[in-house]
């Protein structure tokens, strides 16, 4: 077992993991209270992989991840209150309420995004690394992906390109044993994911993703190879999410015993115990990080709750960059005469349409029915109560809304080998 | 003015912008050593070297995605996809990422990249190499869509596209690469997106055509003048997003008739969209239903005879214009 770092580093690692744990627990609670919408993917159990990785990155390095990245942003330095505000869909969210749980982003801390399409972040990681190489900068890109992403076409394409161009990028597979509800054995012919990129020229290793110190060591070496030798490598970190894939997960695909077995390896408890046993940290400090996390998270909820809803006249903002030009934004729904799409402001009629639509958002209800069991509403309020509380109009809207949530599409891309032809005209 | 072929004009645009801005680079399948499947990148590798003219593996989604990442980090990639058809393999990165990122991250990231792709039929390349997907990209908010028909427009629009901070889908037509035209020699000559060109003035009917069909529209207008004594106004929108609807509506209010010509499929096409806009905004000025001339609703057949039967020609446009004018001449 690798040695513990100094006390200050241990404290910071424990504090950051505890903060993320507490944040995610609270996010789940707020989701049940319908403060957060959409899908919610929690990283509870995966804190050591997240924090271990971020803790050995430099400020100028890029981190890019999946749709389970509340913790990744926090590990990079994003204030939890902005992440919570994003879950609440408010103006002070990391993306001003445009992205939601799956699309957290923080340019300042070089957290280059959560991405909702499995594997969609891989080529973008290669591009970030290409930019570093192109400008002869020292920065590297750390690309985190799930076990499921190793089956996408992007995985093969990006591994090949990264190795071929010797890009300063490092790949970390957060293997939590399931691509949504399908276990690695059932989704990948090669179950040793560390071997999956070898054929493309990217060597891999496996590490214990529940051990924050092991993660630090493995990632530090991967980053060093990327930075100093421009050699992309891959690390497969074994980790586990204690909660379901998303809040809508009935968890029929795994046994309670398996969850309990992994609970015994809890990355935070085991690390705290190790630090205390080694005399690096005391009980007092362990208690202190819990208290600080509690305060930060409750403060984040308060902040998010107080943050305003996005104004409707921002509906079209940032769709296009219009620094120098103001002629892109147009709403085709508008019955107003188009004026050559030279309006940078919504026409009045479009604004009215937006207002009429937004009225259907209504007020959040609590507690929310579990979207996974929509139709029989096993958890939360009985349907008749919900109908009374909402009135007929809002009820219609809610039905649509839940239908969307129920129809989760496995975001997998299929790739075909494409043979281009030389063509002479 | 100098006389250039379309492919030379496009190459000059890239070369001039690469000289002007170190952050501009080109990547794509066979753009370097091979100098492009259609020779549009001829000479660029010699002048700029492998760092800035990058041959890629055949991995469309990753080529575009790598461009997206590089653009987010501040570079200005020009990505060449060998044909519009192959761009379908990159649709995830174009639609879910390049177009969405500025919006979904609330302006914290920009994606200043150009995705060039040639399309269109006429070379017996069959069903997987002859698509026209202007309508597909036109539909996506966050993208700009250019479709130049002349070397001058091609050069000026490509320079604008490279300088623009938004992702641009730049659609070229394979049959126009060899076409010559006058091109201004001024390196600062750019063209704003959203400015249509009136190719020919007339008062009887407005014909709107894009890419190769802009030329077919002009040919048809000449036939209409010589054989039917009808003066057609011909408009080339040049960009579809943004669209210069002003110029089109102004013309329709004058002529009271419109014909839209495109090579793509009829359902949900460029013409379908534009016909709706014209009907919504100039209904009271229309003396006849808006006419559409489109490619046939089939996958492009290989046989030369069948292929030509599937592509619009000037006769089709003349017929559509006369249909719009029925009863008035």
* Percentage of the residues of chain B whose pLDDT score is greater than 70: 100
In this structure, is residue B154 part of a structural domain? yes
> Which of 301-340 (A) contact B at CB < 8 A?
317-321, 323, 325, 327-328, 330, 332, 335, 337-340
In this structure, is residue B192 part of a structural domain? no
Residue B280 in contact with partner chain A when CB distance is under 8 A:
yes
Q: Are residues B226 and B147 in the same domain?
A: no
Residue A201, SS3 per DSSP? coil
In this structure, is residue A415 part of a structural domain? no
| Sheet with B76-80: strands ordered across | B53-55, B24-28, B76-80, B114-119, B168-173, B144-146, B239-241
State how far the Cα of B110 lies from the Cα of B66, in Å rounded to an integer. Answer: 14
Rg of the Cα atoms in chain A: 23
pLDDT for A376 equals: 46
Among positive and negative, which fits the CA dihedral A170, A175, A179, A185? positive
Bridge partners of residue B25, in order along the sequence: B77
Q: Is the pLDDT of residue A325 over 70?
A: no
pLDDT for B59 equals: 98
Q: How far A330 CA sits from the closest chain B CA (Å)?
A: 9
Q: Are residues A250 and A380 in the same domain?
A: no
Q: Is the pLDDT of residue A373 over 60?
A: no
Task: Give the number of other CB atoms < 10 A from CB of residue A288.
Answer: 16
In order, the DSSP letters of B199-228 are: EE--SSEEEEE-THHHHHHHHHHHHHHHHH
Indicate the residue among A306, A341, A371 that finishes a domain: A306
Residue B87 buriedness (CB in 10 A; 0-12 / 13-18 / 19+): buried
A282, B223, B321, B322 from B326: Cα distances, Å: 92, 17, 9, 6
Higher pLDDT pick, A152 / B245: A152
Q: Are residues A111 and A176 in the same domain?
A: yes
Q: Which domain holds residue B261?
A: 197-324
Window from A256-270, A288-302, A323-337, B64-78 with minimum mean pLDDT: A323-337
In this structure, is residue A2 part of a structural domain? no
Q: Tell me, yes or no, if B129 is annotated catalytic.
A: yes
Q: Is the pLDDT of residue B302 over 80?
A: yes
CATH number, domain with residue B161: 3.40.50.970
CB-based contact A126:A155 (threshold 8 Å): no
Q: Are residues A185 and A285 in the same domain?
A: yes
In this structure, is residue B191 part of a structural domain? no
State how far the Cα of A90 lies from the Cα of A98, in Å rounded to an integer. Answer: 9
Q: Are residues B219 and B269 in the same domain?
A: yes
Q: Are residues A244 and A332 in the same domain?
A: no
Tell me: the pLDDT tens digits for A263-282?
Answer: 999 999 999 999 999 999 99
CATH number, domain with residue B211: 3.40.50.920
In this structure, is residue A419 part of a structural domain? no
In this structure, is residue B188 part of a structural domain? no
Would you place residue A338 in the very low, low, confident or very high pLDDT band (cuts 50, 70, 90)?
very low
Would you place residue A370 in the very low, low, confident or very high pLDDT band (cuts 50, 70, 90)?
low
Q: Tell me, yes or no, if B267 is annotated catalytic.
A: no
Tell me: the pLDDT tens digits for A216-250?
Answer: 999 999 999 999 999 999 999 999 999 988 877 88
pLDDT for A131 equals: 98
Tell me: the pLDDT tens digits for A273-313?
Answer: 999 999 999 999 999 999 999 999 999 999 999 999 998 87
Tell me: the pLDDT tens digits for B186-239?
Answer: 888 889 888 999 999 999 999 999 999 999 999 999 999 999 999 999 999 999
Q: Are residues A67 and A213 in the same domain?
A: yes
CB-based contact A101:A41 (threshold 8 Å): yes
Q: Are residues A260 and A394 in the same domain?
A: no
Indicate the residue among B124, B159, B183 that finishes a domain: B183
Q: Are residues A203 and A129 in the same domain?
A: yes
Q: Are residues A242 and A196 in the same domain?
A: yes
In this structure, is residue A184 part of a structural domain? yes
Is the Cβ pair A129, B69 closer than 8 Å? yes
In this structure, is residue A416 part of a structural domain? no
Which of A153, A164, A199, A340 to probe by mutation at the B interface, max B CB count within 10 Å? A340
Would you place residue A391 in the very low, low, confident or very high pLDDT band (cuts 50, 70, 90)?
very low
The stretch A121-137 carries a mean pLDDT of 98
Indicate the residue among B150, B183, B216 that finishes a domain: B183
Residue B176, SS3 per DSSP? helix
Number of domains comprising chain A? 3
In this structure, is residue B190 part of a structural domain? no
pLDDT for B19 equals: 98
Q: Are residues B177 and B209 in the same domain?
A: no
Number of domains comprising chain B? 2
HEC per residue, A302-324: HHHHHCCCCCHHHCCCCCCCCCC
In this structure, is residue A13 part of a structural domain? yes
CB-based contact B160:B242 (threshold 8 Å): no
The stretch A157-182 carries a mean pLDDT of 96
Indicate the residue among B183, B213, B241 that finishes a domain: B183
Q: Which helix (H) or strand (E) holds B71?
A: helix B60-72
Q: Are residues B42 and B137 in the same domain?
A: yes
Catalytic residue among B97, B129, B131, B215: B129
Residue A28 in contact with partner chain B when CB distance is under 8 A:
no
Residue A342 in contact with partner chain B when CB distance is under 8 A:
yes
Tell me: the pLDDT tens digits for A9-63?
Answer: 999 999 999 999 999 999 999 999 999 999 999 999 999 999 999 999 999 999 9
pLDDT for B64 equals: 98
Q: Are residues A333 and A294 in the same domain?
A: no
Average pLDDT, chain A: 84
Q: How far B329 CA sits from the closest chain A CA (Å)?
A: 31
HEC per residue, A336-365: CCCCCCCCCCCCHHHHHHHHHHHHHHCCCC
pLDDT for B149 equals: 98
């Amino acid at each position: 077992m690798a040695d513990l770092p100094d006390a200050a580093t241990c404290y910071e690692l424990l504090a950051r993991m505890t903060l993320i744990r507490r944040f995610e627990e609270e996010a789940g609670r707020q989701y049940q209270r319908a403060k957060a919408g959409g899908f919610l993917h929690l990283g509870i159990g995966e804190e050591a992989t997240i924090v271990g990785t971020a803790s050995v990155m430099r400020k100028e390095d890029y981190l890019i991840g999946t749709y389970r990245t509340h913790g990744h942003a926090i590990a990079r330095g994003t204030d939890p209150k902005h992440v919570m505000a994003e879950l609440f869909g408010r103006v002070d969210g990391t993306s001003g309420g445009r992205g939601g749980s799956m699309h957290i982003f923080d340019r300042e801390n070089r957290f280059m995004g959560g991405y909702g399409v499995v594997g969609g972040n891989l080529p973008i990681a290669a591009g970030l690394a290409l930019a570093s190489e192109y400008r002869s900068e020292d920065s590297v890109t750390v690309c985190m992906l799930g076990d499921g992403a190793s089956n996408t076409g992007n995985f093969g394409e990006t591994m090949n390109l990264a190795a071929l161009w010797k890009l300063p990028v490092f790949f970390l597979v957060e293997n939590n044993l399931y691509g949504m509800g399908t276990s690695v054995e059932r989704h990948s012919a090669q179950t040793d994911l560390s071997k999956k990129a070898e054929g493309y020229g990217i060597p891999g290793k496996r590490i214990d993703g529940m051990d924050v110190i092991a993660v630090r060591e493995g990632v530090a070496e991967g980053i060093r190879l990327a930075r100093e030798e421009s050699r992309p490598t891959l690390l497969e970190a074994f980790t586990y999410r204690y909660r379901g894939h998303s809040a809508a997960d009935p968890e029929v695909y795994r046994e309670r015993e398996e969850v309990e077995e992994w609970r015994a390896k809890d990355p935070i408890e085991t690390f705290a115990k190790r630090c205390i046993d080694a005399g690096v940290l005391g009980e007092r400090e362990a208690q202190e990080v819990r208290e600080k996390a509690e305060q930060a998270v409750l403060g984040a909820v308060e902040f998010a709750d107080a943050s305003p809803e996005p104004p409707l006249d921002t509906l079209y903002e940032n769709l296009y960059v219009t620094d120098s030009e103001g002629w892109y934004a147009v709403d085709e729904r508008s019955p107003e005469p188009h004026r050559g799409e030279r309006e940078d402001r919504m026409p009045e009629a479009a604004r009215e349409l937006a207002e009429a639509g937004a009225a259907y958002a209504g007020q959040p209800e609590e507690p929310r029915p579990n979207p996974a069991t929509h139709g029989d509403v096993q958890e939360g309020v009985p349907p008749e109560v919900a109908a009374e509380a909402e009135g007929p109009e809002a009820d219609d809207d809610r039905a649509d809304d839940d239908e969307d949530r129920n129809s989760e599409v496995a975001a997998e891309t299929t790739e075909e080998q494409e043979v281009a032809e030389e063509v002479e005209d | 003015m100098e006389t250039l072929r379309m492919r030379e004009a496009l190459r000059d645009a890239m070369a001039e912008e690469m000289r002007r801005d170190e952050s501009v680079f080109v990547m794509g399948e066979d753009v370097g050593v091979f100098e492009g499947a259609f020779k549009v990148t001829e000479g660029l590798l010699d002048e700029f070297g492998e760092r800035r003219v990058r041959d890629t593996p055949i991995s469309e989604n990753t080529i575009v995605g790598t461009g997206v990442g590089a653009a987010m980090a501040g570079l200005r990639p020009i990505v060449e996809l060998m044909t519009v058809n192959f761009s379908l393999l990159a649709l995830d990165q174009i639609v879910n990422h390049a177009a969405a990122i500025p919006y979904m991250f609330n302006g914290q990231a920009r994606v200043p990249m150009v995705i060039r792709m040639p399309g269109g039929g006429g070379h017996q390349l069959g069903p997987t190499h002859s698509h026209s997907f202007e309508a597909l990209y036109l539909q996506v908010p966050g993208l700009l869509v250019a479709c130049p028909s002349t070397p001058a427009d091609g050069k000026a629009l490509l320079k604008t596209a490279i300088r623009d901070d938004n992702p641009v889908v730049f659609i070229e037509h394979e049959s126009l690469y060899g076409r010559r035209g006058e091109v201004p020699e001024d390196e600062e000559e750019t063209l704003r997106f959203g400015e249509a060109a009136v190719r020919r003035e007339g008062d009887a009917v407005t014909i709107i055509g894009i890419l190769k069909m802009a030329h077919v529209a002009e040919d048809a207008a000449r036939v209409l003048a010589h054989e039917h004594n009808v003066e057609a106004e011909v408009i080339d929108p040049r960009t579809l997003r943004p669209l210069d609807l002003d110029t089109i509506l102004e013309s329709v209010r004058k002529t009271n008739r419109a014909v839209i010509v495109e090579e793509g499929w009829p359902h949900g096409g460029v013409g379908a969209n534009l016909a709706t806009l014209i009907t919504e905004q100039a209904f009271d000025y229309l003396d006849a239903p808006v006419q559409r001339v489109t490619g046939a609703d089939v996958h492009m057949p290989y046989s030369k005879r069948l292929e030509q039967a599937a592509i619009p020609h000037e006769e089709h446009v003349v017929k559509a214009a006369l249909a719009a004018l029925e009863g008035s001449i």
